Structure 1
Amino acid sequence: MNMRVSSRTIFETGMNQLSSLQSQLSRTQQQLSTGRRVLTAADDPVASARALEVTQSKEMNDQFKINRQNARASMSHVDLALGTTGDLIKDIKTLIVNAGNPAQTQKDRDALVIELEGRFNDLMAQANTADGNGNFLFSGYRLNTQPFTQTPGGAVYSGDQGLRELQAGSGRQLAISASGAEVFEGALTGNGTFETKADPANKGRGGSGVISPGSVTDITKLTGHQYTLTFSVVPATPGVPAQTSYTVLDATTGVPVTPAPVPYKSGEAISFDGIQFDVKGDVADQDVFTVEPSKQQSLFTTVRDLITAMKTAGDGPYARADLTNKLNNANQNIDNALDNVLSVRAKMGAGLKELDYLDDAGDGVDIQYQTTLSQLIEIDPVVAISMFTQQQMTLEAAQKSYKNISGLSLFNYI
């Protein structure tokens, strides 16, 4: 059975086929030019949805990378300020040692005081350091508030306890700042458990006793109480040497720790309630030494007290003993302040090191995301070029055949 095909059908069928082939060729050309297999969601709905999820995760990972860059900049500022602060504290320790030299006169100490004033001002400058954006490093959350203001007794802190944090990874937040209270006011006095002091009035009584910082001998016996050590001196009489003894009173409870006076021997250990220390030198009648629990003290208060002690020390054996007690106390507190600053700096260093690890992990995750996206939406160039060449040849053949078919007519044979 023969079927008659009209000229209109031939033209319409040929045009539709050419249009379809041209669309396919154009789409392949777009894939080659963009490098993407999936141009629209309709091309592969499942791959498109998955690619959107991966793209969002990749963009979040990119943001974490930016956060880490900002965190590194802020933490580097803090680390630099802490390093300088540590160097200044070491300079102050050197000045304390110089001030304790027996050959030093009051004029010599006055010269050291001038240097100490300079170190004090340098410490204030470090405590009030700001970053490149004008935000104070050690003010906690109060970025625009100057952390420390100088006072006659040291400095007052106007910031808060907050630690600014940044999301450095999908499951990690890092502190990028340090509180001024933690850095400059977080050190304990004395040996960290208790603090020994000489009564300033000992100087006027003619006593030259020097008390040691002491140590803990039994932590289970510690009471956390305040104690008063009072000396009694019975003057010598013909044939009888002077007798010196001491009593210890628990100033918190008012109960004597030593029911009877204990004979005093210079440098001999004095122990009670889990603590131990000694007193060296010649003590005067009614000389007093105190023991109290360690407390947090501002570095600026420590330096200011040291400056006052050196200014008012004077000369003479009793004045030197009083100064030695104050220098020992200041030296212990300065050591604690240095340890505290180094501890905070160690935290910053650990954070900077962790940023390096997070950067490496982030780069690895980024490669994984990029690989997944490539597998989902990118096209294989070899396959695409082969397809493009094939589609191009098919279109050219279709165009030639359409030209020949559309030229057929019975009038050509009349």
Structure 2
Amino acid sequence: MRVPDNLLFSIFQDQEARIKKVLSEKTLDIATGRRVRALSDDPSTTYNVIQLKSEIAQLSQHSQNRLFADTNLTYADFTLGKMEDTIKRLYAEIIRIKNSATISSDQLIAMAEGFNQSIRQLLDRVNEKLGQNYIFGGNALTVKPFDENTLNYQAGAGDFKVWISENSKVSVFLEGGRVFKTNLYVSRATFNSPTDSFSSAGSITIKIGANTYTINYGGAGEPQSIQELANYINSNLGDGIQAFVSTNPNGTYSLALSTKDLSADMEFVSITGDFSTGFDNPNILQAIKRVKDKLENGIYPDEFDLFSINRSYDIVAMRRSEVGYVLNVVKNLQPTQENLDLVLKKQKSDLEDADIPESMMEYTRYRMAYEALMRIVADQKDLTILRYI
């Protein structure tokens, strides 16, 4: 039965359009390397690709933050290590002075210069910058942390933190006021002699962690001098508090207190009597300067000086271990982020990119189908598409 020309032409048109459309798509797949080139091509796949791109961008930001944290914390660790070395030398010097009974006042004054140089070195360390930011300036990135004259902390009131993962952020610029804070306290009230009697009875209430201590003095049956008060504290509260009678740079005496626990802090709840003027809480630089000032005045260092230098070293070592722990977490995150990046990019590629070998095979197959269609028409009517145009 002979096929009508108009029906043959209609069939030919439909098949040719379908084959040409597929050939065009496969040609674009091969040329661009993309299977999805517009939202309208495949809305569902495009949405998934957009989501993956967002996750990849977020991961990239977290990876940059991780590298940023790694760099800053590594430098902070290095700086704290150098400070440890300096304070260790000062401690050894104090030990040498205390073990020698023949050092004169003039020699003590001369030794003060070495302490002064060490303080300048420490000051340079705590005011170190990485780029334009101070590593111990906390969240006030460009404010110099410690005043060169008073040695007071004057920068940010908290650490500067960055997100290194979706659920985790770390400190990269540390608050120097916290890092170099000591749990050493020296009474502002001074006495001409450790055995001078108190002029006004009172009490000191101190909170350390969950424990509260109330120390009465000056009344009947209570300590009557700072020497007796220090002895009483050490005998009765020695599990939480250490007390010293310390010579001040001007030759007077003060009550010095510290927590037994290195990581604990001391809060003064209330103070009455002779000590109502309160207690100073020197930072590490100021604690070392106190010793330097005494040497400059030819005053021999006491047990509290030795303790304060040792405590300063221990605090710096503790802060360094804290930085080291965070740094270890940051470094261990690197392979996890790199693997996740590969997985996300592979998922995106699987959705978005064309399979070039498969597209080439499809292109060849449809090209052959198109040529076969042309031959069928030519065999049926001895015509080509050009005869119909």
Counterparts of 1:47 and 1:270, CA distance in 2: 73
Shift of 1:339: 1.6
Cα distance change of structure 1 residues 381 and 257 upon mapping to structure 2, 3 Å threshold: farther
Cα distance change of structure 1 residues 340 and 362 upon mapping to structure 2, 3 Å threshold: same
Amino acid at match of 1:125: D
8 Å Cα contact 2:87-2:309 kept in structure 1:
yes
2:138 match: secondary structure: coil
Match of 1:394 among 359, 369, 377: 369
Which residue in 1 is equivalent to 2:330? 355
Amino acid at match of 1:373: K
Which residue in 2 is equivalent to 1:173? 169
Give TM-score scaled by structure 1 length: 0.69
Amino acid at match of 1:31: D
Cα distance change of structure 1 residues 109 and 405 upon mapping to structure 2, 3 Å threshold: farther
Shift of 1:127: 1.4
Report how many residues are paired.
Answer: 339
Which residue in 1 is equivalent to 2:204? none
Cα distance change of structure 1 residues 306 and 224 upon mapping to structure 2, 3 Å threshold: farther
Moved more, 158-167 or 388-397: 388-397
Amino acid at match of 2:5: V
Cα distance change of structure 1 residues 171 and 188 upon mapping to structure 2, 3 Å threshold: same
Counterparts of 2:144 and 2:174, CA distance in 1: 14
1:167 match: secondary structure: strand
Unaligned runs of 5+ in 2: 197-208, 245-251, 260-265, 267-280, 385-389
8 Å Cα contact 1:99-1:112 kept in structure 2:
no
2:134 match: secondary structure: coil
Cα distance change of structure 1 residues 351 and 57 upon mapping to structure 2, 3 Å threshold: same
1:5 aligns with 2:5: yes
1:352 match: secondary structure: helix
Render the CA deviation track for 1:43-82: whole Å, top value 9, x for unaligned: 4332222222122112211111111111112222222222
Which residue in 2 is equivalent to 1:157? 153
TM alignment of 1:13-412, pairs within 5 A:
14=12, 17-100=15-98, 101-132=100-131, 134-151=132-149, 154-184=150-180, 186-189=181-184, 201-202=192-193, 223-225=213-215, 250-251=216-217, 254-257=218-221, 272-275=235-238, 290=255, 292=257, 296-313=281-298, 323-325=300-302, 328-399=303-374, 408=383
1:148 match: secondary structure: coil
8 Å Cα contact 1:82-1:345 kept in structure 2:
yes
8 Å Cα contact 2:86-2:118 kept in structure 1:
yes
Amino acid at match of 1:23: K
- Aligned-residue RMSD, C-alpha: 3.9
8 Å Cα contact 1:222-1:274 kept in structure 2:
no
Amino acid at match of 1:307: K
Amino acid at match of 2:69: A
1:362 match: secondary structure: helix
Counterparts of 2:2 and 2:380, CA distance in 1: 18
8 Å Cα contact 2:56-2:341 kept in structure 1:
yes
1:147 match: secondary structure: coil
2:298 match: secondary structure: coil
Shift of 1:168: 0.3
Shift of 1:259: 8.8
Give TM-score scaled by structure 2 length: 0.73
1:156 match: secondary structure: coil
Unaligned runs of 5+ in 1: 206-218, 226-249, 280-286, 315-322, 410-414
Which residue in 1 is equivalent to 2:278? none
